Every structure is written in structure tokens, then in C-alpha cells.
Structure 1
């Protein structure tokens, strides 16, 4: 840095400000310094920066399942935002395993991340407490709990779910089922409750024999749909906890010779890119990834300067996207 400062005719402090994206340096000076940096192929020492300022300019991101396309799509948006703001990302997956979660938290603490975004609600409280104890801000997804150093991004399921149920009702569906994710106080339960409320709001009866748990994956949707289609009195339409579950249900319907949407209508949740590629293209509830990523970044940035203060509740809305997997209910027995 001293060499760069000497060649550019500025102080080492000015070089540091340019590297760290400070707006206190005049544009012409900053451009001259960046040109010298490029010519010398200088790469800042991240570890030294962390030691000096106590900040790593890195956010941790923890996701439960990298095989679910929803998460790579979120990662793409979140990473783009970090790059725009000259920050880095340390990512880890847990595969819904408590031990992996604990190991991941230790990695985040060792790397001295400036905050952690946790996109899973199916977690124990101990890892969270470890982050809070070390004054690392944490932002969760749809846990609906906030506290000192803990913020949350709530998913407003109700707007999209009301639209989905009303859409099916307009198509003369009355026997509407639901396939969720894993049981417990989770994102899946929030979506199930939104489904039940939407059915009551539409003056439709919730038939408990049409309710099933899945696992957020294609296999869970397949297993649940096999059970539902084995019923003597079948549902005519299904809403699912995510798009992979809906795709699993769609595959079983095809295997059993049913036509979608003529014999069965299916609605997903998330609006992953794959939902517009499967046949028929999937009607689904859109959870906008860019907006979700921006909200997580906003929450992390807000907590960074005061990690011990009370966190905030943020929210992202859902909305129905109508494609070809829903249609008018046929004659049913």
C-alpha cells in the first residue's frame, strides 16, 4: 500500500479509503489510485483488514438444501448485492442436520463474519444463542421471532394463498388439499395455517383427509400424492408448500394416467425457474428472490453497527402466478 501511495502521489490512508470504498476520496484521485492498483496487481490482505478494523466485510449465509433450486436462485441475488457493495459471502449448507448446523456456526465465528443470514426455521436455539453471545447479528427467515441481535424476515403467505384458493374456487374446485413440508413450528406450518385461513375466507371446507406432510422435495410430493389418489373420494386440486413438492405431485398424476389440469389442478409455492419449464407449466405462489435478498441485506446492514440492540421484523409478500397446471374442475363423484 505504501508503494501504491508513493506512485499515485497520495497517502497510505487515501489508498486504504479507496480500497474500502470510502466516498471521502475525490473521484479523480480514486481513479488514479485504482489504476495503480490494477497495474501492480495488488490484492488486499483480508485477514489483516479484519485484525485492524474488527470487520471482515463478509456475511455468512446458511441454507438447508442446495439441491432445492430456490436456494441457488436466492444465492445468485444475494451474492450480486454483496458484490455491488464490495462485500464477500461465506456460504454453508446444513441438509437439515443439527450437527452440521453447529459446525457451520463455528466456521462463521472463526471467520469473524459481520452477520449471518439463516434461511431455515427448522433449527435448535443453541446455535442462535452462540451467535448472539459473540455479538454476531443474525437474520432468520420466517421464524417470526426477534430479540437482541436477532432479526427476522417474515414471509407474508396470506396474500398469495388467498389468491390461490380464490383462483381455484373460481374454477369450481371445492375439494382442495394441501401437501406441506416437515412438521413442527416451521415455515411449512406457517403456510399450512395460511391455507386453512384462505379456505375459511373463501367459505370452503378444509377436509383433513386431504392434508399431508411432505419433505420440501420431489419425493415428498410423490409419496403424499400417491396416498391422496388412493382415496375413494379424491381432491380435485392441490396446493403445496413449495414447487418441488408440486412437481412430485405432478409426476404421480402423470404416472397414474391423470391429465393436469383436466383431472387435477396443482399449485406450487416459490416460483422457481423450473416451474415454468415442467409440463404443464406450474401455477405457483411467487416469493421474489431479489426482493428477499435485498431485505436480508438491509436487515444485516441495519444490525451491523449495533449488534446487541433489539432486532426488527421485516416482511416480503407473495403473489399468485397463473400458468397451465390449474383449470376448471371436471365432474367428480
Structure 2
């Protein structure tokens, strides 16, 4: 069965059926309803390849994420797909697996499928893969990279709002020696978060301690390794903020393994507010980056290029805010020997 059969059953022309399928506003509402009813009754699925060839648009958005094992990204993926499908679009997802060499292959997949735009949440991308997208007039929306141009928008994460709340919370609890476990060295998003951490400390009149700052890898292993180093210090921090919740989970694992308690001996704050953060023990205080808001912002940013793929891009911002749970508590004074005072 093809569009001619649908047109015959609905009593309209094939052109009208085509317009209904492609969301044209040139068809009367009652006609749209009649055609869609026939399509649903006969379970007709249009040939999207033919539509792409005719109109130059596939109705598909590409999504590139760095690490499917990080719970943040499946949670984002669920929200983004829901929004895309609700708006009669499709989604093509790919992952770089934190490997920059996979990016070129991933971009090629997107171009072969003729996606209408790409949402890129991977920060390790180099300049070269952009060239293929630009050459083929495929709009791109990046996360926290800070660049906009024709066909290029960026979604910035407002670390300041959440970081300021976190530092004020720790200061009110009596913490002065605050550490930080960041993300992978060299990534733009990692640099933005550590800079926001240092600035937030200074805004509440606390002194940054470089010896309390470590790189991680956005994974449990990075959190474990960095926290092991911090706990080996003779004068260690009383609270630690991490670049994401998965890193915080790794840090918490080491703290408990060494016979210390959270938050009595050391307070921990994560970043993202993944579902797991409210399940771990103790429940994790964290900076919430709302997944639905982030997904909707990416979708709206892609839609900005719907009329013209070379439209000049925009900078979008998504806020963070502190969610206080049980992993933060009053700072304990330390004795001259380095042990915690009761």
C-alpha cells in the first residue's frame, strides 16, 4: 500500500496525503484528521527515504553522547527521545565511548542518514569532524563549548548558580578546607567546572587549596583514585565536591572502605543529580542539572535551524541548583595529630 491507496480511501489527492504526512499547514484540519485516521486504520508507514530525497529533510535528529555507561546520559537520552517523538521526529543516537577517534565515523553515520541536525554532548570533539557537517549544511548544537556561528549553537551549563549554593552550604556547616575532584584533564567542560568551583570559593571568602584538587575521569575509578590521594594527605579536606555523581560514588566507596563515615568525617557533594544519587548510602547532596530542561533546550536549539540550516546560532543556558541530602554535615575539628575530635 502506498500514498495513492491512502488518498483513494480518504477521498483526497496523493499530494494532500503527502502534505499531511509532512506536517504542512496548507490542509484543512478536518481533512488532516480524515487522512490520519485512514493511515492509522491501515497501519501505513510512509517511505521516509523517498521523503528525504524529495524535500531534503529526514525528520531525524542525531544525538552524540560520550559514555552510555554513565547514568546521566541514558537519563538525558530518555528525555530527548521523548521530546523528539512527541514532535513527530526521529532520533539517531551514537556514542564516542570517550574516544576521539570514533567521532569521524560517528559524523559519517549522521551524514549517511541525512539527519536534520546534530546534538553533541561529547566534549572531546576536535575541529576536523565539524568540517563535514558544515560542508553538508547540517546544523550542530554543542554543550558548554562556548562557540556559535552559522549553523552552530551552544548550550552552556550555568555552573555558577549551583556552585555558589554548594559553597555557601558548606561554609554554613563550618567547612573551610574544601577539595575538588574534577573530570578528565583538557576537556572544556572539565575546565569550566573547576573554574566555577574556585570562583565560588572566593565569593564566600574561602581560600582555594591547590593540594586538595585532583583530576578524575567522570567514572567511579577516577573518583576512587583521587579520593585515595586526598585521604593520604596529612592535612586533608573536610569536604569534597566532585565533577559528577559517578565520581562522587567512587569517592564515597573509598571513604567507607577506609573506615571513615560520611558526613561525620568528610562531606561529599556530587554534580548532575542522577537517579542513583538518592539511592546510595548516605543519599548524595548534589548539584542538579535537570535532564528534561537540558533535553528541551537542545531540541529547541536544533529547531532554530529548521527554516535555514545556515542561520546564525544562539547561546542557550541551563541552570544548576543544589539538592541537599545526607552526605553533607558539620565539619569536624581535627587535633594536632590529624585525628578527628569528638
TM-score interval w.r.t. the shorter chain? over 0.9
- 1:54-65 to structure 2, matched below 5 A, reads 54-65=56-67
Instruction: Quote the Cα distance in structure 2 between the aligned partners of 1:23 and 1:328.
Output: 60
- Which of these residues, 261, 265, 272, is aligned with residue 270 of structure 1? 272
Give the aligned partner of residue 260 of structure 1: 262
Contact 2:122 2:143 in 1 (8 A): yes
Give the aligned partner of residue 33 of structure 2: 31
Instruction: Quote the Cα distance in structure 1 between the aligned partners of 2:259 and 2:26.
Output: 67
TM-score scaled to structure 1, two decimals?
0.98
Give the aligned partner of residue 146 of structure 1: 148
1:230-254 deviations in Å (ceiling 9; x for gaps):
1001100000000000010011011
- Which of these residues, 151, 161, 166, is aligned with residue 164 of structure 1? 166
Higher mean Cα deviation, 61-70 or 28-37?
A: 28-37
Give the aligned partner of residue 75 of structure 1: 77
Q: CA separation of 1:310/1:28 partners in 2, compared to 1, >3 Å: closer, same or farther?
A: closer
Q: CA deviation at 1:264?
A: 0.6
Q: CA deviation at 1:185?
A: 4.3
Instruction: Quote the Cα distance in structure 2 between the aligned partners of 1:20 and 1:123.
Output: 33
- 1:1-333 to structure 2, matched below 5 A, reads 1-333=3-335
Q: Describe the SS at the equivalent of 1:144.
A: coil
Instruction: Quote the Cα distance in structure 1 between the aligned partners of 2:305 and 2:334.
Output: 54
Instruction: Quote the Cα distance in structure 2 between the aligned partners of 1:208 and 1:170.
Output: 22
Structure 1: gaps spanning 5 or more residues: none
Structure 2: gaps spanning 5 or more residues: 336-342
1:285-328 deviations in Å (ceiling 9; x for gaps):
00011111111011111023222232111110100000000001
Contact 1:137 1:304 in 2 (8 A): no
Instruction: Quote the Cα distance in structure 1 between the aligned partners of 2:263 and 2:290.
Output: 25
Q: CA deviation at 1:265?
A: 0.3
CA RMSD between the two structures: 1.0
Contact 1:5 1:12 in 2 (8 A): yes
Instruction: Quote the Cα distance in structure 1 between the aligned partners of 2:152 and 2:36.
Output: 37
Higher mean Cα deviation, 4-13 or 43-52?
A: 4-13
Q: Describe the SS at the equivalent of 1:37.
A: helix
TM-score scaled to structure 2, two decimals?
0.95
Instruction: Quote the Cα distance in structure 1 between the aligned partners of 2:16 and 2:166.
Output: 56
Instruction: Quote the Cα distance in structure 2 between the aligned partners of 1:7 and 1:133.
Output: 43
Higher mean Cα deviation, 119-128 or 187-196?
A: 119-128
Contact 2:96 2:122 in 1 (8 A): no
1:93-119 deviations in Å (ceiling 9; x for gaps):
001212211100001111110000000
Instruction: Quote the Cα distance in structure 2 between the aligned partners of 1:233 and 1:135.
Output: 55
